[in-house]
A and B are shown apart, each in its own frame.
Chain A
């Protein structure tokens, strides 16, 4: 079955970092770009950036430049998104998605809560 499976919920303190994983199954990670999107509770969707898992090339939203890092481990078919210097307004559901256009395949989401 083709799917993206994300890591579990995280609780972090302000100033810490979080690393969310996104494991591709049923297809080879390097075949499609991986995009990261987040959604605060009751709010809209916000594009964070994307990565070409084949080359490792990334493109980040200006808002997250300097705080976000997208990487991958092709040997285990997994992509990662790390967000640093966390603030309370980073509390959100984080999604990985396959592709850069109309997206058919999404991860189930990872809730990241930032609280002191």
Chain B
């Protein structure tokens, strides 16, 4: 099974900050990685697919990069609506999710 290690688990930041979340795969997954945002009581929302492709309707302040085993989600300027939990997901072989990063208000 492919393991996904996401860090940090919690991140305290202010509006306007640049935020970076990292995900590491236990083996190469090429670019078969997605990033989701989840708010309490809601289903996940797709932000990025195929490691760096921005989902339609998602603000351009979100970006993804990486391939192989190292991936990054960046929010260029954190907005009030962005305080949420973020998950990475590999879909190279079945699915595995990272443990999640909760982005909190500093």
| Residues of chain A at the chain B interface (Cβ within 8 Å) | 35, 37, 44-47, 59, 61, 95, 97, 100-104, 106-109
Contacts and interface: CB of A to CB of B under 8 A. Distances in A.
Nearest to B100: A44
B46 A47 contact: no
User: What range describes how many residues of B lie at the interface?
Assistant: 10 to 19
B97 A47 contact: yes
Nearest to A96: B43
Interface string B9-42: 0000000000000000000000010100000000
A101 B32 contact: yes
B33 to A, nearest CB: 9
13 contacts: A35-B95, A44-B87, A44-B99, A45-B44, A45-B87, A100-B91, A102-B34, A102-B46, A102-B48, A102-B49, A102-B50, A103-B44, A104-B46
Nearest to A60: B94
Contacts of B50: 102
Given A101-B34, A102-B49, A102-B91, A108 B43 contact: yes
Contact of B98 (A44, A106, A107, A108): A44
A35 B91 CA distance: 12
Contacts of B99: 44
B96 interface: yes
Interface string B45-84: 0101110000100000000000000000000000000000
Contact of B95 (A37, A104, A109): A37
A101 B91 contact: yes
Given A44-B98, A45-B89, A47-B94, A106 B44 contact: yes
B66 to A, nearest CB: 15
